[in-house]
Each structure stands twice: as structure tokens, then as C-alpha cells.
Amino acid sequence: MQQLRAVLDGPLPEIAARFSRFVGSQWPHRALIIFTRECTGRPRKVAGDRDIVDRVTIDELDALKETVDPGTAAAAIAVVGGVTRDVLVVRDETDTLLVMIPKPSRSAGPGAGDRLVSCDQLRGWFAIVATSIRQQVAQASPDYLAESRAASSERARTIAQLTQTHEDALVSILGTLRARDLDDRTARSAAAETASAALIALRSVSDSDHKLATEDVDSAFARLRVEFGPVAEQLHVDVDYVAPTARGRNLPGEIAHAARAIVRVVAVAFGTQRTVSRLRIAWDCSGNELVVDVRDQGAGDLDGDALTRQLAGRLQTLGGRLEVETLAGWGSRVTARMPLDSAAERPDQNVLSTLNPRELEVLGHLALGRRNKAIAAELGVSESTVKFHVTAILQKLQVSNRGEAGLLAARAGITAE
């Protein structure tokens, strides 16, 4: 048990490496992957052969997950890292996935029955690891939030840059293939269709990553209601839930996790007051902030200083702030405000203010991923004029390509109609 404790005790991003060492002697493997959508920053925790773990995709892991029922383990043949391999798959009840690529065995090895017994033992160990991951995410500690936010931001920047590079290459290929002075029409048509399909698939990458790393505010609040139910029962309080009015707004995953954790902490603090029997929990998006508001109708003797100290680490990590109001005989109110983008992710308003109205208009089209020709047609100007504006935008925003400019625009809420 001491060795298993060492697996659980340490930074969350490195838990796969620690678990790999723990199980390596009994289940020799080339690579080990833990996949959980609970972790918005790094849904894949990996260890082992970089040629495998660096190439495994979310789609491959999702496909593998569908082949195994929750709470079971199985040996399978599947595509991992773009190559068909023998794999050992464990899907925990928490929906966390474990994938191991076994090392080739020189002997015949155990029979199927022995392998299932062995898998049952592995499933038990992994259940403990999966539960630990879920608890760390639910607690939304400052360390987890900082790591998750940094990973989310870095992944978004990387995808924007790769998307722009590959999109430029595909657009160039299409332009060449569509040139009228080329012969062999059939081959050219087939190649054009292939490049067009690749371009469409490439543009969907950012959308898929965005869905993985965010929760819409309605779903995040609904999840709070489900998770908070047992807590309310333990506190013996009735809860009035006020759903967000800003419907369809997306929250960064780390903000959604932090908001739910903050509600639990505040509710428990309220519950220590003897006279509290009802709570009001409300979420909403105000401008570029998520506002979490929790109120009671107790005696108004909440220890606001202690609660502020308890939540300071989480809120400081996310650039948020806390407001605590208590009024003797009337009750208490706690409001947490968290920016939906970190300060590092938001373009400086002074920089944006350097753009003229036409440049802001072009920037809005860049946020939607449109090319110069499409922007020119929309604005009724020439492509060379659009190119001139794009060059000026990149210089003023101090970014290296249109993908980065579009990403900054989207995060600042600047998009074309």
C-alpha cells in the first residue's frame, strides 16, 4: 500500500508515470496512457515510448473506450498512435480509461483465464488511481487549476499555429490544382477533392479541442446540481438553484471545476451555522466573468475571514476575487467572480485600441477563420486591400500569424456578424 500511496501522492500530470512504475513489474508495457475528460488541460496522462504516446489521438482513445464496458478490462487489437497494436484496456466506473501497450513476450504466456484474473487485479488498482484523479479535479486545488489553465492555453496556441500552417499549405495546393493551365483533369480533380476534405477536417480540429476543454454554462450548472445534492442532504438544507441567464456561454473547464468546488466550500461554511436551513445558489456570466453567488438566511455570524483564506489560493490562481457580506440577524452572502480568460490570454485593451474600425472589422473575420478572398467579398474590397489590413493587424497586435490574431480576437469577443 505504501507503493500505491506514492502513485497517488504527487503532481497530477505525472500520475501516469508513477502508475507505470508501480505496475511495470507485473504488467510489462511499452507505453501507458490514462485518458479522462475530467482534466480539461491534459486529458491524456502518458508514460513510456514517445513514438506511441506522442501520437495517440483523442479520437483513438474515444473509439477504444466504446469497446469496453464501464468497470471492465479487456485485451484487444486497436489503432493507437496510428498503428494497429495489441492493447490492454481498462475502463473504470468513473469513465476514466487506461490503455497499456504490452511488451512483446517471448513465451506463450498465460492463458485467457489467467489474463482475466490478472486484468481484474489491474482494474482494482486503476480504480483507486481513477478515483484519486477525480477527487483532485473536484477539489480544484490551486496547483491543479494553474497546471490545467497553463496546459489549456498552450494547447490552444499550438493548435492555432498548426492549423494556420497546414491550412495555408492546403489552400496553396488547391490553388495549384485549380490552375487552368494544368492538364490531366481527372487526377487534378481527385487531388482537389482530397485536399478539400483535408481542409475541412483540419478546420474541425479547433472545434473538437474547444469542446474538450470547455463546458457550456448550462451543462456546468446542471452538473453542480447533481454533484451538490448529497452535500445538501448531509447539511440538511433546502437549496434554491438559480440557473444562468447567459445561455450557451462556454466556460473554460478549470473555471467550471473551480466554481463547483467553491460552491461546496461556501455551502459547508454556511452549514456550520445552526440556524441555516435554506441556501440560494446562482451562477451567471457578466461581461467576461463568471459570477457565483451563494446566500443564506441564517444568523449572519459567518466567519468571512476564514472563508476568504480558504478560497484565496483557488481564486488567486484564476485571477478571481471574493466578496463576503454578513448582516447580523439577516444572513450572509458570498460572491466569487472569475474571469473567463486569464490575464495572459486576454489581449491588452491598449493594443486593441490601436486598430482602426476597418482593421477591427477584418479582425472579426479572422476570428472566424476566413481567408482574404472571402473577407474581400464580404467587405466589398480587393484582396490586396485585405492583405494590407491583415499585415497591419499582425504588427499592431504583435503576433506572428493570422491564426494567433484570430484567437486573440475570439477571446476578446470580436467576431464578424
Predicted confidence (pLDDT) per residue in 204-250, tens digit = 555 555 555 678 889 899 989 998 888 888 888 899 999 998 777 88
Write out the DSSP string of 19-51: HHHHHTTTS-EEEEEEE-TT-SS-SEEEEE-HH
Residues 177 and 273 in one domain: no
Which cell is 206 given?
479547433
**Which ranges of 236-303 does DSSP label H, i.e. alpha helix?**
253-271
Which cell is 126 given?
486503476
Q: Are the C-beta atoms of residues 372 and 383 closer than 8 Å to each other? A: yes
Predicted confidence (pLDDT) per residue in 370-382, tens digit = 889 889 988 889 9
* Among 326, 352, 316, CA closest to 266: 326
Residues 131 and 233 in one domain: no
Place of cell 473547464: 253
Pairing of the two strands 289-296 and 278-286? antiparallel
Residues 269 and 325 in one domain: yes
**Given a cut of 50, is residue 265 above it in pLDDT?**
yes
| Max Cα distance, the chain (Å) | 86
Residues 196 and 95 in one domain: no
Q: How many domains does the chain have?
A: 4
In a domain, 230, yes or no: yes
In a domain, 393, yes or no: yes
Average confidence score pLDDT of the chain? 79
Residues 382 and 262 in one domain: no
Residues 227 and 317 in one domain: yes
Predicted confidence (pLDDT) per residue in 179-196, tens digit = 666 666 666 666 666 666
In angstroms, the Cα distances linking 109 to 27, 98, 262 are 12, 22, 50
Residues 127 and 71 in one domain: yes
Question: Of 339, 374, 397, which residue constitutes the final position of a domain?
Answer: 339
CATH code, domain carrying 37: 3.30.450
Residues 51 and 147 in one domain: no
Q: Are the C-beta atoms of residues 242 and 282 closer than 8 Å to each other? A: yes
Residues 246 and 293 in one domain: yes
Domain carrying residue 326? 216-339
In a domain, 344, yes or no: no
**Given a cut of 50, is residue 343 above it in pLDDT?**
no
Residues 25 and 146 in one domain: no
Write out the DSSP string of 324-352: EEEETTTEEEEEEEEESS-TTTSPPHHHH
* Among 313, 286, 292, CA closest to 228: 292
In a domain, 416, yes or no: no
pLDDT at res. 311: 87
CATH code, domain carrying 307: 3.30.565.10
Residues 312 and 261 in one domain: yes
Residues 130 and 9 in one domain: yes
Predicted confidence (pLDDT) per residue in 53-107, tens digit = 988 888 899 899 999 999 999 999 999 998 999 999 999 998 999 999 999 865 4
